Amino acid sequence: MTAGEVLPLTATVEPATQSELVEQVRAAFGSDTPLYPIGGGTSLGYGVPPKQKGLGVRLTGLNRIVDYPARDMTITVEAGITMSVLAAELAREGQRLPVDAAQSDRATLGGLIATNFSGPRRYGYGTLRDYVIGISAVDGRGTPFKAGGRVVKNVAGYDLCKLLTGSLGTLAVISQVTLKVRP
């Protein structure tokens, strides 16, 4: 199924940078247009189906590795990176993210985080939510914000990373993620 078959879209945009994403969210907010974040399109049927026509924001253009200090066992990537690309990059350093993504060549990290999809390995290694230590996102008004950080233990108070994980894009559009990884 395509995004247009599942979501009531009037148009779809694909930002290539964080600033383009912010501009598009602000424009949608300014025109009172509903916004539907789309990753790889593998889990579009999750949640309550939207009724209002709106703008689809496909995040596959945000697909870069931002920072990868392999010795720290963390990686920061943009939300549109596919799981197969992420797995290949981690494998070069003998590391992995123990998440089983169906259709890993299409499924994006941002989409998996939005759905908190983890696959059967969650029984042995925990859910994807347990690996998200930092997140950058854009709220519904177009204001970018960050939560968490690049170190494994840095949360005091509410953990917005855990709140956004599994929120199906209803609270914010996830643009960048820092993960802890395993050997």
State the 10-residue block means of pLDDT for the chain, 183 residues long.
77 97 98 96 84 95 98 97 98 96 94 90 85 97 91 69 94 98 96
* Placement of tokens 């609270």 in the chain: 171
Q: What is the C-alpha to C-alpha distance for residues 60 and 70, in angstroms, rounded to an integer?
A: 24
What are the pLDDT digits (tens) for 124-143?
788 999 999 999 999 999 99
What are the pLDDT digits (tens) for 64-81?
999 999 999 999 999 999
| pTM assigned to the model | 0.91
The string of DSSP letters for 23-73 reads HHHHHHHHTT--EEEESSSSSTT-SSPP-S-EEEEEGGG---EEE--GGGT
pLDDT value of position 172 = 98
Q: Tell me which H or E stretch contains 163.
A: helix 160-164
Q: Are 128 and 118 in contact (CB under 8 A)?
A: yes
Domains of the chain: 3-58 (3.30.43), 61-180 (3.30.465.10)
**CB pairs under 8 A, 24+ apart, for 164-168?**
164/113, 164/114, 164/135, 164/137, 165/113, 165/114, 165/116, 165/128, 165/129, 165/132, 166/113, 166/114, 166/115, 166/116, 166/129, 167/114, 168/46, 168/47, 168/114, 168/115
